Amino acid sequence: MDKISAALEKYLMPVASFIGGQKHLIAIRDGFITSLTVSMTGALASMMNNVFFNETSFVGQYLNKIDAYHESVQPILQKYAIPVMGDIWFGTSAILSIFILLGVAYSLAKSNEMDGIGAALIALASWFTIFPQTAMGVFSKAEDGTFTEGAWGLMPVGQLGSNAMFSAMLVGLVAAQLFVTFTKKGWVIKMPEQVPPAVSKAFAAVVPGGLTLVIFGIIAEIFAQAVKTPFVDWMLEVVQKPMMALGQSPFTYIFLIFIAQLLWFCGLHGSNMVDPALNTMYKTALLDNVNAVAQGKEPIYALTRNFVDVYAQPGGSGCTLALIIAIFIFSKRQEAKELAKIAIAPGIFQINEPVIFGLPIVLNATYFVPFIITPPICLAIAWVFTEKIKFANYLCVELPWTTPPIISAFFGTAGDFKAAILAAALLVLSVVIWTPFVIAANRMGDSEQA
């Protein structure tokens, strides 16, 4: 164990320390967290329509077999409730890239002790500066009666959702960094002390903000005249789609979760450290699924951001809810059982710090192997039964990460009982994996007492 700890400390800790303190990665993580309320609300609105309200939804198809419901309730839902949920989805998930951009830019500016709101607004203006100004597929009529494809002034709202997340995230980072850099150089308009602070702050942002917008205007014209493709479309084809294709390999996901588990074992918050990579590769896939279902289509991607939470981490990182269950059944150590009593309630809601730091699991040789291998094993099995065997439906609803296991699988798939069965089976498997090590801990406890 000493050799393992020494190796982790020598090779992994420096990398982890860099990631943990890297402002741009933290800004990406916090930007996604900031947008969580918006994206989750949109996903829940979509779920309400596709699980309960629509006539062909999971619940609606059964309720509409009742004549009174079909004749009295369903018309009301169709006229009022379904459009309201659709409007909420349009105002959240359909334009989510805007909220992510604002969150990323704000976080980066605040981490540099700069004006977060000012940086976020300049980032938003930079985004629209490079955004396509013409909606292709729309034909405008000229004075001579001819029609030209592309109507100026009709912004393609369809490019403000998940398909623009990479470009929005990048613009938010670059614009905020430029704003911060120009401000730190002192390229600001300084007002007299008697001027109100709000006015002084606004004038101070004029030069940094203006220079940032000039740079993005030049970038927009480079893409329009030289690349012949809008920046957003170019990013989608050259960066986002290849990254998502890489992410749909289960080996990529397993590798990221494996690294997160190693970091946790060292006492670092592994989930936070790999979160930027997970969001970059898998949040888009989840939102694409949400949007597809909202439009009455089938979800597209098997591996999404919440895939690991739903199937491979019941109780939190390391499948520690399974450990708690194994302790209740097989542990003979009184201190472990007492801790399990305290940890069971938060564990049901995916909060496992009491177990990780209280048992502890951190740098505990007895629990190293199951803590590291259980999530990757569960993730691989879930992928097989979702993608290859097609037993469970794809995840298409974003739920709070604190949603209890099994329930999250049912609602995350818009009401698929088979997904809940798969999640329950993986929880049982996790208990089986943890059990020999809990029994081994009993023997170690006996030897320590002797």
Domain range holding 147?
97-248
pLDDT digits (tens, 9 = 90+) for 315-326: 999 999 999 999
Are 346 and 233 in a shared domain? no
Mean pLDDT of the chain: 87
Say which residues have a Cβ less than 8 Å from residue 213's Cβ, sequence separation at least 6.
122, 125, 126, 129
Phi, psi angle pair for 79, to nearest 5°? -85, -35
CB atoms closer than 10 angstroms to residue 303:
24
Q: Which helix (H) or strand (E) holds 152?
A: strand 147-152
152: β partners: 134
pLDDT exceeds cutoff 70 at 138:
no
Return the ∠ at Cα 430 (arms to 336 and 380), rounded to 5°.
145
pLDDT exceeds cutoff 70 at 358:
yes
CA distance 131 to 141: 23
pLDDT digits (tens, 9 = 90+) for 188-206: 888 787 778 777 888 888 9
Are 304 and 176 in a shared domain? no
Q: In which band, very low, low, confident or very high, does the pLDDT at 18 lie, cut at 50, 70 and 90? A: low
In a domain, 51, yes or no: no
pLDDT digits (tens, 9 = 90+) for 143-189: 555 545 555 666 777 778 888 888 999 999 999 999 999 999 988 88
In a domain, 117, yes or no: yes
Tokens 């691989």, residue located: 380
Are 234 and 325 in a shared domain? no
CA distance 241 to 253: 16
438: its two tokens = 């809990």
Please state the rounded mean pLDDT for residues 268-296. Answer: 87
| Residue 418 contacts residue 391 (beta carbons within 8 Å) | yes
- Is the CA virtual torsion 11, 16, 21, 25 positive or negative? positive
Please state the rounded mean pLDDT for residues 249-265. Answer: 92
Say which residues have a Cβ less than 8 Å from residue 441's Cβ, sequence separation at least 6.
331, 333, 336, 366, 367
Identify the domain boundary among 248, 265, 286.
248
Are 243 and 385 in a shared domain? no
Identify the domain boundary among 248, 276, 311.
248
Which of 278, 291, 272 lies closest to 247, judged by CA?
Answer: 278
pLDDT exceeds cutoff 90 at 258:
yes
**pLDDT of 2:** 56
| Residue 411 contacts residue 47 (beta carbons within 8 Å) | yes
Q: How many helices (H) and strands (E) does the chain have?
A: 25, 2
In a domain, 225, yes or no: yes
| Residue 51 contacts residue 415 (beta carbons within 8 Å) | yes
Are 148 and 256 in a shared domain? no
Q: In which band, very low, low, confident or very high, does the pLDDT at 73 lie, cut at 50, 70 and 90? A: very high
Please state the rounded mean pLDDT for residues 424-438. Answer: 96
Q: Which of 207-211, 418-422, 445-449 has the lowest mean pLDDT?
A: 445-449
Identify the domain boundary among 248, 263, 279.
248
Please state the rounded mean pLDDT for residues 388-392. Answer: 95
Please state the rounded mean pLDDT for residues 351-368. Answer: 88
**pLDDT of 379:** 97
Are 354 and 240 in a shared domain? no
Q: In which band, very low, low, confident or very high, does the pLDDT at 447 lie, cut at 50, 70 and 90? A: very low
DSSP state of 365: G
**pLDDT of 400:** 84
Number of domains in the chain: 2
Are 266 and 340 in a shared domain? yes
**pLDDT of 449:** 42
Please state the rounded mean pLDDT for residues 389-415. Answer: 92
Phi, psi angle pair for 139, to nearest 5°? -105, 130
**pLDDT of 347:** 92
Please state the rounded mean pLDDT for residues 102-124. Answer: 93
What is the rounded radius of gyration, in angstroms, for the C-alpha atoms of the chain? Answer: 25
Strands (E), 159-252: none
pTM score: 0.81
Please state the rounded mean pLDDT for residues 90-116. Answer: 92
149: β partners: 139
**pLDDT of 373:** 95
**pLDDT of 322:** 96
CA distance 380 to 253: 9
Are 256 and 145 in a shared domain? no
Find the Cα–Cα–Cα–Cα dihedral 157, 158, 161, 162, rounded to 10°. -160
Are 280 and 339 in a shared domain? yes
The amino acid at 378: C
Please state the rounded mean pLDDT for residues 131-135. Answer: 73
| Residue 127 contacts residue 98 (beta carbons within 8 Å) | yes
**pLDDT of 137:** 46
Helix%, strand%, coil% for the chain, nearest 5:
75, 5, 25
| Residue 406 contacts residue 389 (beta carbons within 8 Å) | no
**pLDDT of 443:** 80
140: β partners: 148
